[in-house]
Structure 1
Amino acid sequence: MPDKDAVHGHGEQSLSEAWKTAATVLQDAAPFTVPEGASAMTLHIEWGPGDPGTPPHRHSGPAFGYVLEGAVRFELEGEPERVIEAGGTFWEPGGDVIHYQDGNALADARTRFVVTMMCAPGAPMLELVDEKELAERAQLRAPRPTR
């Protein structure tokens, strides 16, 4: 695979050399840690209009996503909420970090995304965070946007 700086898109090349420009880097996340013995799981998620998505949770390892359609309202502990539109990417480190939001940012259309997660052996792919822990860690959440 060509390095990330050499990847630009299709050019005027023979088919035997098309692989050199066929890939486009969508995200380059570093550093991150994959739990020893981890497994990888890729999911397709689809939220209807306005669906808030999964309640606050965490993953046992890093997760990498790509928005196929619509827009995802995305928020990790310590980072401001943001909206990632179709064609955009996201990642999260996993571990202790709380993932507050991954819902549909659109009130009138569906949102679809694909996410690949590295799961620590014997740990669940997703663990919900209870209200008590959310309250205990409230100071770690970025200020909420005013709407």
Structure 2
Amino acid sequence: MREHRSNAWQTAITIVQEAKPPYIPQGAHEMTLVVEYPPGDPGAPPHRHYGPAFGYVLEGEMVLELEGEPERVVRAGEAFWEPGGDVIHYQDGNNRDDIPLRFLVTMLCEPGKPMLTLVDDEELAQRADRRAARPV
């Protein structure tokens, strides 16, 4: 029997994101999850991840805001990442009030620390100078 080989692999790949390797916590473990927010949902409150996170929007549009960067919209088919560590993740909510948002995230989690830690109002106030200017 003759083995058939396809050449489809030569054009099957689309690069959606490249990043320089961020800090990876010693002994990190990987966690991949799907997050689903209904239309108009603001998403998680300000938080941080202790390791880097890499994501891909499956459906809808996410408002993404990381400390030191202006908020931006990430649409279905687009990727995003955050370095984790001390960086505050301000927003990950649904940008649309007519359709749901679904995104996939792969995180490298630091052993002994939660996957996500909320940031309190006092710390947000102390670091207000690190937040990019808000849209008008």
| TM-score band, normalised by shorter chain | over 0.9
1:131 and 2:102 correspond: no
Any stretches of 5+ residues in structure 2 without a counterpart? none
Aligned residues: CA RMSD:
1.2
2:49 — aligned with what? Answer: 59
Partner residue of 1:97 out of 74, 82, 87? 87
1:74-99 CA-partner distances (Å, limit 9, x unpaired)? 00000000001110110000000000
Give how far 1:50 is off: 0.5
1:143 and 2:133 correspond: yes
Tell me the number of residue pairs that the alignment of Structure 1 and Structure 2 aligns.
133
Q: Which stretch of structure 1 is more off in the superposition, 31-40 or 96-105?
A: 31-40
Any stretches of 5+ residues in structure 1 without a counterpart? 1-13
CA distance in 1 between counterparts of 2:23 and 2:11 reads 29
Give how far 1:31 is off: 3.6
Percent sequence identity over aligned pairs: 65
1:43 and 2:36 correspond: no
What is the letter of the counterpart of residue 69 of structure 2?
E
With the length of structure 1 as denominator, give the TM-score of the two structures.
Answer: 0.87
Give how far 1:25 is off: 1.2
Structure with higher RCO (Cα < 8 A, 6+ apart): 2
CA distance in 1 between counterparts of 2:26 and 2:9 reads 32
1:10 — aligned with what? Answer: none
Give how far 1:103 is off: 0.4
CA distance in 2 between counterparts of 1:120 and 1:139 reads 27
